[in-house]
Structure 1
């Protein structure tokens, strides 16, 4: 997984599944997933320190010993195990007030409102909205466009 920087481009990485694939580094994880599906016959193991590092089983141990991402892991493990890690004072949980009891609003019943249902076609017929024709033949579209012009001009006259 050699990382290179081409002139005029961002940093690129070569795909372990197909050496012809040169991918931008920030798109590499997504590409690896797609390429792994496309090449099921190529079995590569994933590095425990960086998921974008894929190697054959026999090469993985050598890579793990010299993986550049291992430094972050080692730094964390040794700082925690030596007691040299960041000194963070223990945080005690703050008591939260109890929520108020729920109100019992039994008088509200949404099923018995006497309001008509919303009809978008009916609304669009009376509003200054451009409607699009559905699946129509060219002659039907022309008729629809003429009817729309008339409808919109009538709405304009009513608003003046």
Structure 2
């Protein structure tokens, strides 16, 4: 495991012998949950990757390492937004006289290659018509 430090390795909550890279833990938990259906663990509300047995759950909630991150955003007054004056413009995109966009019409009238779909006989006819359509652009 090149480039990985000890902090990057975590222990699986289902089997303490499983040591997994932190970035692979989510996939590992999905597989391990199927292998250990009898083990009941609760998800931490602050980090869904924290799976804790019921007796230890309250203790984990009080000491969860991610608790400080949630508390920082919950209680700090750092939710300031940039405010600016309204921008004046001559453009009005609501009053346009263009019709609705139809992708079939656009593709049919421009030099765009389309893929045939359907039964073999329909694909053969489609290819023949596509050749005719694309020749008008040459």
Question: TM-score, normalized by length of structure 2?
Answer: 0.59
Pair 1:13-2:10 in alignment: yes
Gaps of 5+ in 1: 1-5, 120-160
Pair 1:88-2:81 in alignment: yes
Query: For residues 117 and 96 of structure 1, do their structure 2 counterparts lie closer, same or farther at Cα, with a shift above 3 Å needed?
Result: same
Once residues 91 and 33 of structure 1 are traced to their aligned partners in structure 2, the CA distance between those partners, rounded to angstroms, is 46
State the match for 2:112 in structure 1. none
Q: 1:109-158, CA deviations, whole angstroms, 9 ceiling, x for partnerless residues?
A: x8xxxx94439xxxxxxxxxxxxxxxxxxxxxxxxxxxxxxxxxxxxxxx
Per-residue deviation at 1:36? 1.2
State the match for 1:97 in structure 2. 93
Pair 1:118-2:127 in alignment: yes
The SS at the match of 1:73 is: helix
Alignment of 1:141-160 (within 5 A): none
Pair 1:36-2:45 in alignment: no
Gaps of 5+ in 2: 109-123, 129-138
Higher relative contact order (CA closer than 8 Å, sequence separation 6+): 2
**CA radius of gyration, larger in:** 1
Once residues 73 and 35 of structure 2 are traced to their aligned partners in structure 1, the CA distance between those partners, rounded to angstroms, is 36
